[in-house]
Structure 1
Amino acid sequence: MALRLQLAPRALRTLSGCPSSMREQVQCELGALAAGLPLDGPLVLGQSGLVVLDSGFRVRYHLDPGHGLLRLTHVQAPQAHVR
C-alpha cells in the first residue's frame, strides 16, 4: 500500500529545528516507513504506534489506510540533538 506522510505541526517544528543533514536522513527513514519497509517490525494498519528510526528519532504515528495516510503525530529528536 502506498502511503502519504502527514506531519502534525509539532512534528514539523521538531524536524525544522534539525541540521539539514540530519533532516535529510530522517526524511529518508520516514520515506522508508511510509513505503512499508520494516524499520522495527511491521506496521499495524488502522492503529497508532511508536517506531524508533535508525537515526534515534522516536516517531509516533497513526495509520489511516482509508485515506492512504501515515500521520506523524509526534517526532522526538535523540537527546544529543535537542536544542
Structure 2
Amino acid sequence: MKKIKYSSILNKFEIFLWLLLIIQCAFTFIWALFIDDITYFLVQLIGIDKSYILLFYYGLIATVLILITITSEVKNKLVT
C-alpha cells in the first residue's frame, strides 16, 4: 500500500502561524511597555477596550492553530 505524503503546504502554514503568534506576543509586550499612551489614545478614539481586541485576535489565531494541529494529526493517523 502506498503512503500518501503529508501535505508540506499545511505544515509550512502551521509553522508560519506559530511564528506569527510568537512575533505578535513579543510585539504586544513591547507595545504594552513603550507605546501604551498611543494605544490608550487610539482605544479611546475607536471606543473599544484594548484587551477585548487582543483576546479576540489571539483566540482566533489559537483556534486556527488547534484546528490545523488536529487536522494534521488525523491525517497522520489515517495515512499510517
Q: Could you state the TM-score of these two structures normalised by the residue count of structure 2? A: 0.34
Give the greater-gyration-radius structure (CA): 2
Task: Select the structure that is richer in helix.
Answer: 2
Query: With CA pairs under 8 Å and 6+ residues apart, which has the higher RCO, 1 or 2?
Result: 2
Q: Could you state the TM-score of these two structures normalised by the residue count of structure 1? A: 0.33
Task: Select the structure that is richer in strand.
Answer: 1
